[in-house]
Structure 1
Amino acid sequence: MTTALERNLDELGIHGAVAHFNLNAPKLYEAALRLGEGTLALEGPLVVHTAPHTGRSPKDRFIVLDDATKDAVWWGGFNTAIAPDVFDRLYERVTASLRGAELFVQDLYAGTDERYRLPVRFVQEMAYHSLFVRNMFVRPDDAELRSFRPQWTVLNVPSFRADPQRDGVGSGTFILVNFTRKIVLIGGTKYAGENKKAIFGVLNFLLPAQGVMPMHCSANMGKDGDVALFFGLSGTGKTTLSADPERLLIGDDEHGWSDEGVFNFEGGCYAKVIGLNAEAEPAIYATTRRFGTVLENVVLKPDGTPDLNDGSLTENTRSAYPIEFIDNIVPEGRGGHPKNVVFLTADAYGVLPPIARLTREQMMYQFISGFTAKIPGTEQGVVEPQPTFSTCFGAPFMPRHPGEYAALLAKRVEESGAKVWLVNTGWTGGKYGAGRRMSIAHTRALLRAALSGALDDVAFEKEPFFDLEIPTSVPGVPSEVLRPRDTWADQGEYDRTATKLAGMFRNNFKRFADGVAPEVTACMPNHG
């Protein structure tokens, strides 16, 4: 007898497929190994390789332009329009290719808060993808599963490559989001991160209309219940710094901030593991040595153990695991209103201070700017530090105008009374190649001082280039470290480098000026 769940695949236009519904981790391991999708490493993790795609493909992401999106999406940048009929034709071609195929289906929630969670059905060609989303999203209990009715569907078929001329897309890879049909269609890439970021983008579009601020940030909680948020792009220390042994982890990547407080979008973590070691990050390291974890693009040693120092496949090696693999967590994935909001940047120019307190307008300016810097060696052709401005610290997943998100964040900060900090985890004493990386011990001391309230009664002074307020003293941190100019042997070179970086900030922000308040635009650096 055909079940209600199976009938829903027919409603998706998928006929004659062999579908496995809501398999658990052991069953998905069996399927992935049977299908040759991965390797079982010593101690239990499933290791998969995703070449040629070892990261996301933001240039292959499209949003259907229709009545639901034409006036609400900020078109341009990463938000590229595609016509409804183009989506429909490609969708029909993909579903037709699945007749007789073996598929893996997971019914999951995006969001730990029942008031705002999104029921999503993931229909996937690869068993490993099914295990990935089962790790990454919130699993319904048995009662919830019996009554589960998906509002959105993600259909992911890596083996299907589009024909750009025939299908109207840019390459063989495609990530198409249709807000009217409530479908995400993915093909041409095995990289599992596309699943989670696609749904993050959907939530980023839907939740602001409900008054919820969607955020690309980690979150943790002190023993007294005080919540802190950590925004930051890859390489800034977002996962590392939020996994503080003295605090409880709410989540490591994606959250919403509602009238009631903060809630995790996910039920798992997707940690970058290149160079990870047991001494510095024991909790995350332990997840790479256990059954149920998915390791992406990690090289195995001859004895079958993961070599986390080998970046020969990619520097973007990842571990995807359920959040309960970490002991020090908030099990319900929710917390109250934050007392502190931290913007993390890895400034490879060595200009920005290790910590600065932001005004409301500066907060909005820095949030919209979303600055960090690539260092030489991270990408082919990068031979000196290069600025990266990713608005809202997550540009590829933000469908609305950045000013809309910044205003909603400012509203939440004002209502909660949260303090906002800019923390530079990058370079000091000179730019990359001349200076040194900021001491993680100093960064942790700065953060603990900020989060504990130890900086509330400290004097602050302004630096001249970005008008940022810098504390004059912090327990456990040498005072000269707090003033970046004082750490440079050649202070004239510091001034020239700071002027150059300030000019980059000004040029970047020009494209947002029409959508933000004048007082925010006024926070652009005076130099440059």
Structure 2
Amino acid sequence: MNSVLKASLLEELLSQKNVNHNLSIARLVEKVLAKNEGVLTDTGAVLATTGKYTGRSPQDKFIVMDSVSEGKVDWGNVNQSIDEEVFERLYTKVITHLKKKDDVFVFNGFAGADHTYRLPIQVINEFAWHNLFAKQLFIRPTEEELVSHEPEFTVISAPTFKADPTIDGTNSEAFILISFKHNVILIGGTEYAGEIKKSIFSIMNFLLPERNILPMHCSANVGKEGDVALFFGLSGTGKTTLSADPYRQLVGDDEHAWSSSGIFNIEGGCYAKCINLSEDKEPQIFQAIKFGSVLENVVMNEETRIPNYDNTTLTENTRAAYPLDHIDNSVSPSIAGHPNTIIFLTADASGTLPPISKLSKEQAMYHFLSGYTSKLAGTERGVTEPEATFSACFGAPFLPLSPATYAKMLGEKIDQYNTNVFLINTGWTGGSYGIGSRIKLSYTRAMVHAALEGEMNHVETTTDDVFGLLIPTHVAGVPDEVLIPKNTWIDQLAYEKQAKELALKFHENFKKFTNVSTEIAQAGPAYH
């Protein structure tokens, strides 16, 4: 199938009477309700469920190997290849499938808040609630921009089209196929809306480095003095929670890029985990879930329509999608200057990493390449307990290029802009998962505040024997004993065993990075 044929198939679909172009939020909500795709909560948010796919399905994601991708993509377990013929056959089947539907929904908008670097995108959905999700998560055009909008990348999502692996060449009924040659993302067999969001992030991770722009899996906010902070971390480590700070303006909660002008948000909305969400602990996120927002897999009281955010019956990966302007103190447009502070977040289930430590440049590069956390339940299918995982650049599933590409760019920018880097553990203390407890959010917020306000530059520190990290001996608002992990454990021998096991995992993982300097390679845990 050549590009001309592909384009004609798409044009034929988009010209049909069953296609709804750029509906308003209110009309999309009406469609969701009329088609019984979801219900309204007491605040007017749409609540939808996603069936058995309640998280991303990484084994079903492929990049089409073609003349554009073959020599650039870092092929392997993360970036699985699939033949162009497989993509073309499924493309035709999905278009044919959508033509027969009563309704198809189209959103035209942008990825990238900086007009200089933004990517015009088109999202085509079988479900109205998925189109509402796209409208809230990506950047909406003005009426004038919509008139001249020419999409450079198209997402086509057909959840009720199930692939047959024996015929279609997929791993299961679900598939996420990215074609850089045809500028198309094809999604089928899964109702999880996060696949739409993350597929766009994946293509930005492919396209932006070519323009000398660093794409980053991080949240960002700005202080009253214009100081910018980035929060890197995998899902569940606290990016959204910690960047939604009443004393700082939110730039975005998950995906940003760093150009020669500063940073900009890739998205126009937030996709927050809302497990155990409460107005007391996270007021900004709680209050953002109002009319037009989308709740995924949240259980609610059928009579009162009040969500029960503590209920994990469907999944622990409950989600809320809402536009940035639902956060009162968000930045608009969502761009800012060069970062003063970078915070790497990890949710360590071993209970042995310090709650906060300041990193040298070499340690920063080591921990960026390592991307350690404990994968939390629900973020991916089949994960029921925290698992130690290393995700390069805190976002390996979304990196089509070699991690070294992004790491090199980050190191150069840290040097150029003299950025301070901290490692903050939002995981367990007083023991490993199942024995200890999660570090209190109030403690973590106090440590983040200390890092952002420069208080960490003048405090007394001690060096961790196992991990070689500089730990402050005092942070206002945090008990001193909490800062030193070993001091929180009753069983000291158990602590030593857990810490050394984690150190060895770091070393084992880092062996694959063979082209880094000796200084970076030796900046990891002191214990071998």
TM-superposed CA distance for 1:71, in Å, is: 2.0
User: Which segment drifts farther, 19-28 or 296-305?
Assistant: 296-305
Aligned equivalents of 2:377, 2:137: Cα separation in 1: 31
1:215 corresponds to which letter in structure 2?
M
Equivalent pair of 2:56/2:380 in contact (CA under 8 Å): no
Question: In the alignment, does 2:475 pair up with 1:474?
Answer: yes
1:153 corresponds to which letter in structure 2?
T
User: Which segment drifts farther, 464-473 or 431-440?
Assistant: 431-440
Counting only pairs closer than 5 Å after superposition, residues 1-400 of structure 1 correspond to structure 2 as 11-12=10-11, 14=13, 16=16, 18-101=18-101, 102-288=103-289, 290-301=290-301, 302-374=303-375, 386-400=387-401
- SS where residue 246 of structure 2 aligns? coil
Aligned equivalents of 1:384, 1:54: Cα separation in 2: 15
CA distance 1:374–1:147, change in 2 (3 Å): closer
Counting only pairs closer than 5 Å after superposition, residues 405-416 of structure 1 correspond to structure 2 as 405-416=406-417
Aligned equivalents of 2:379, 2:196: Cα separation in 1: 24
Equivalent pair of 1:13/1:95 in contact (CA under 8 Å): no
Equivalent pair of 1:287/1:319 in contact (CA under 8 Å): no
CA distance 1:153–1:335, change in 2 (3 Å): same
Aligned equivalents of 2:92, 2:347: Cα separation in 1: 44
1:160 corresponds to which letter in structure 2?
F
Aligned equivalents of 2:181, 2:382: Cα separation in 1: 41
TM-superposed CA distance for 1:287, in Å, is: 2.5
- SS where residue 495 of structure 1 aligns? helix
TM-superposed CA distance for 1:375, in Å, is: 6.4
Counting only pairs closer than 5 Å after superposition, residues 501-520 of structure 1 correspond to structure 2 as 501-511=502-512, 513-520=513-520
Q: Find the counterpart in structure 2 of residue 426 from structure 1.
A: 427
Aligned equivalents of 1:385, 1:83: Cα separation in 2: 34
2:453 corresponds to which letter in structure 1?
S
CA distance 1:429–1:103, change in 2 (3 Å): same
Aligned equivalents of 1:475, 1:85: Cα separation in 2: 60
TM-superposed CA distance for 1:67, in Å, is: 2.3
CA distance 1:319–1:366, change in 2 (3 Å): same
TM-superposed CA distance for 1:507, in Å, is: 1.5
Aligned equivalents of 1:40, 1:383: Cα separation in 2: 29
TM-superposed CA distance for 1:286, in Å, is: 1.6
Q: Find the counterpart in structure 1 of residue 3 from structure 2.
A: none
- SS where residue 66 of structure 2 aligns? coil
1:52 corresponds to which letter in structure 2?
K
Aligned equivalents of 2:428, 2:99: Cα separation in 1: 54
Equivalent pair of 1:17/1:99 in contact (CA under 8 Å): no
CA distance 1:501–1:355, change in 2 (3 Å): same
- SS where residue 465 of structure 1 aligns? coil
2:481 corresponds to which letter in structure 1?
E
Equivalent pair of 1:110/1:137 in contact (CA under 8 Å): yes
Q: What TM-score comes out, normalization by structure 2 length?
A: 0.94
Aligned equivalents of 2:153, 2:314: Cα separation in 1: 33
Equivalent pair of 2:358/2:469 in contact (CA under 8 Å): yes
- SS where residue 201 of structure 1 aligns? helix
Deviations 1:60-115, CA, capped at 9 Å, x for gaps: 00001122212211111210001111111111121122334321111010010011
Aligned equivalents of 1:259, 1:240: Cα separation in 2: 28
Deviations 1:222-267, CA, capped at 9 Å, x for gaps: 0111000011122211111111111111001100011111100111
CA distance 1:379–1:16, change in 2 (3 Å): closer
Give the number of aligned pairs.
Answer: 520
1:141 corresponds to which letter in structure 2?
T
Equivalent pair of 2:218/2:256 in contact (CA under 8 Å): yes
TM-superposed CA distance for 1:430, in Å, is: 2.0
Deviations 1:462-507, CA, capped at 9 Å, x for gaps: 2121211112332233333222222222323222211111111112
Structure 1: 5+ residue stretches without partners: 1-6
Equivalent pair of 2:65/2:84 in contact (CA under 8 Å): yes
User: Which segment drifts farther, 119-128 or 230-239?
Assistant: 230-239
CA distance 1:374–1:99, change in 2 (3 Å): closer
Deviations 1:407-438, CA, capped at 9 Å, x for gaps: 11111111111100000111222222332322
User: Which segment drifts farther, 213-222 or 32-41?
Assistant: 32-41
- Report the RMSD for the aligned CA atoms in angstroms: 2.0
1:369 corresponds to which letter in structure 2?
S
Q: Find the counterpart in structure 2 of residue 3 from structure 1.
A: none
Equivalent pair of 1:17/1:100 in contact (CA under 8 Å): no
Equivalent pair of 2:218/2:230 in contact (CA under 8 Å): yes
- SS where residue 108 of structure 1 aligns? strand
Aligned equivalents of 1:111, 1:239: Cα separation in 2: 18
Deviations 1:343-379, CA, capped at 9 Å, x for gaps: 0111111111111111112111111111112468999
Aligned equivalents of 2:273, 2:342: Cα separation in 1: 22
Aligned equivalents of 1:76, 1:324: Cα separation in 2: 39
Deviations 1:291-328, CA, capped at 9 Å, x for gaps: 11111111120222222121111111111111101101
Q: What TM-score comes out, normalization by structure 1 length?
A: 0.94
TM-superposed CA distance for 1:42, in Å, is: 2.5
User: Which segment drifts farther, 14-23 or 69-78?
Assistant: 14-23
Aligned equivalents of 1:437, 1:287: Cα separation in 2: 25
2:499 corresponds to which letter in structure 1?
A
CA distance 1:48–1:9, change in 2 (3 Å): farther
Aligned equivalents of 2:384, 2:205: Cα separation in 1: 34
TM-superposed CA distance for 1:444, in Å, is: 1.4
Aligned equivalents of 1:292, 1:469: Cα separation in 2: 45
Structure 2: 5+ residue stretches without partners: 1-5
2:34 corresponds to which letter in structure 1?
R
Aligned equivalents of 2:372, 2:362: Cα separation in 1: 16
Aligned equivalents of 2:381, 2:178: Cα separation in 1: 30
Percent identity, please.
49
Equivalent pair of 1:294/1:319 in contact (CA under 8 Å): yes
TM-superposed CA distance for 1:17, in Å, is: 5.6
Aligned equivalents of 1:499, 1:10: Cα separation in 2: 57
1:333 corresponds to which letter in structure 2?
S
Aligned equivalents of 1:442, 1:149: Cα separation in 2: 47
